[in-house]
């Protein structure tokens, strides 16, 4: 995986899932790739939040406020029974700050 790219390609994710259990059936590999995708997506959005809060015009925010902002941006959004993680809140705040 390219260090600049926090999310590996689908091929790399499947290879990683297969490496953990080479004899796994397709359903187990599918399940593992889904878990890996969620993990990498979380890392990606966490990095995006860190990048956002590291901007020159935001770098002097007090640590306590910074932590609250980061927690809110990473927190899932619930709409009825459906939970949406990361992207919605991060994109809206990023747009607002640009």
- Domain ranges in the chain? 10-97
Task: Give SS3 for 88.
Answer: helix
pLDDT number for residue 13: 92
Reported as a pLDDT band with limits 50, 70 and 90, residue 88 is very low
pLDDT number for residue 14: 92
Tokens, residue 78: 């619930």
Taking alpha carbons only, the member of 37, 35, 43, 34 closest to residue 6 is 43
pLDDT tens digits for 33-70? 999 998 898 888 888 888 888 888 888 889 999 889 88
């Amino acid at each position: 995986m390219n260090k600049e790219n926090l999310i590996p390609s689908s091929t790399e994710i499947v290879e990683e899932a297969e490496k953990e259990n080479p004899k796994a059936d397709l359903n187990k590999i599918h399940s593992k790739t889904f878990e890996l995708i969620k993990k990498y997506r979380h890392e990606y959005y966490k990095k995006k939040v860190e990048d956002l809060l590291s901007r020159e015009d935001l770098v002097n925010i007090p640590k306590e406020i910074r932590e609250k902002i980061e927690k809110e941006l990473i927190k899932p959004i619930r709409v009825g029974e459906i939970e949406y993680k990361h992207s919605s809140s991060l994109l809206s705040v990023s747009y607002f700050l640009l």
